[in-house]
Amino acid sequence: MKTVLVVDDSATMRRMVIASLRHVPDINFAEAGSGLEALEWIALAPVDLLILDLNMPDMHGLDVLRFLRSHHTYNTTPVVVLTTKGDESSHVTALAAGASHYLTKPFIPQTLSTYVRELLGIMQDMETLL
C-alpha cells in the first residue's frame, strides 16, 4: 500500500481530492490541514506522495516543498501542487522548487488520478479507460 498525504487548509478540498482518488488501488490517505502539520506527519510516518496546496496560513506550500527537497530522506518524494494560483510565475516557481506536477483548482479528477498513478507506478485499469 502506498500512502498519499493530502495537504490543504480546507477540509472540503481534502475530501474532494480523496474522493477523486478513491478508485486508485493500493492507496492509503492521510490528511494535514497545514504545512507544519504535514512536516510533523512525514517525520512520523513514511509518505509515498504529497498533494500540496500553496496558500496555507502557517507555512506556505513552497516552504514545505523546499524543505522536502533539501532533506535527503524526502528529496525524491513526489509532490503534486494543487492550488488556486494559476499564474505562470507560481507554476514556474513550484516546478523549479521541485514539484512533480502543478494543477490549479478547480481540478479535473482524471488529470489528478493520472498524475498520481504515474508517480506511484500504478497501472491504469483497462476498464477505466473504456
pLDDT digits (tens, 9 = 90+) for 42-83: 999 989 999 999 999 899 999 999 999 999 999 999 999 999
Mean pLDDT in residue range 79-89: 95
Question: Could you give the CA distance from residue 81 to residue 122 in angstroms, rounded to a whole number?
Answer: 19
Specify the pLDDT at position 57. Answer: 86
Q: Residue 42: enclosing H or E segment and its boundaries? A: helix 35-44
Could you list the beta-strand ranges (E) of 8-95: 27-32, 49-52, 79-83
Considering the domain delimited by 2-129, tell me its CATH architecture. Answer: 3-Layer(aba) Sandwich (3.40)
The one-letter code for the residue type at 26 is D
**Whether pLDDT at 127 is above 80:** no
Specify the pLDDT at position 123. Answer: 77
Name the residue ranges covered by the structural domains of the chain.
Answer: 2-129
**Whether pLDDT at 126 is above 70:** no
Specify the pLDDT at position 125. Answer: 58
